[in-house]
Amino acid sequence: MISKIKNFLTLSFLIGIAGLATIIFTVTLIYPTLPDVESLSKYRPKEPLQIFTKDNYLIQEFGEERRDFIAIENVPQKMINAILAIEDRRFFEHPGIDFIGIIRAAVKNFTGQSREGASTITMQVARNFFLSSEKTLKRKINEILLSLKIENKLSKEEILELYINQIYLGQRSFGFSAAANTYFNKSLENLNLAEIALLAGLPKAPVDIILYLIPI
């Protein structure tokens, strides 16, 4: 019996060492090939041409994408709190990868409680700027490594600003400021709590909620 336990422990140890070696080899091989994230610190989206009346009423907009860049210091705290509560509660605590979230999602998915992802805001920034949405192991590894690289280069506030301005929220709207104007014809600072909650939930929203919000 003792011999079997020793053999099991030895085998488990060897498997663990082999797995760790594989991970180190993979990271060493892939990390140098990752895109340079330095450009993110100079991010400014190309905004559409807008024509206003003298009393500042928008009468025409030219461009396929609706964008309205907003600096992180001008984003209402209630909007930030809502985004973090829904998307990444430990954003200011993790290094780009939320290991607690990964374990929680794995348990829920395995037990059939719900289908849950574990992508952090940093991982979503990495995906939106540098990667495709294909569901492959290579893309996921690149996403994780890019997230670590982004966290090493940018502050949490800079990463959050990128997310808030780049995330696609339906109806050609990129970023929460543009979405506030699209769905409610308001600026972010003029949204009420219900509108903030709806916007914060758009990245995970089913199609019918997005359709409900579309102005008629």
Our count of domains for the chain comes to 2
pLDDT digits (tens, 9 = 90+) for 134-146: 878 788 888 999 9
Q: Residue 40 domain-assigned?
A: no
Rg, C-alpha atoms of the chain:
21
Q: Is pLDDT of 2 > 50?
A: yes
H or E stretch at 3:
helix 2-30
The most confident of the ranges 4-13, 123-132, 197-206 is: 123-132
Do 150 and 189 lie in one domain? The reply is yes
Do 52 and 140 lie in one domain? The reply is yes
pLDDT digits (tens, 9 = 90+) for 26-74: 555 556 667 788 888 888 777 665 565 666 655 655 567 889 999 999 9
pLDDT digits (tens, 9 = 90+) for 95-118: 999 888 777 765 665 566 555 557
* Host domain of residue 18: 1-33
Burial letters for 174-213: b for 16+ Cβ neighbours within 10 Å, e otherwise? bbbbbbbbbbbeeebeebeeebbebbbbbbebeeeeeeeb
Do 148 and 187 lie in one domain? The reply is yes
Do 199 and 155 lie in one domain? The reply is yes
CATH number of the domain where residue 168 is located: 1.10.3810.10
Predicted local distance difference test score (pLDDT) of residue 19: 47
How far is C-alpha 183 from the geometric centre of its chain's CA atoms?
Answer: 21
H or E stretch at 10:
helix 2-30
Q: What pTM value is reported for the model?
A: 0.76
Predicted local distance difference test score (pLDDT) of residue 186: 94
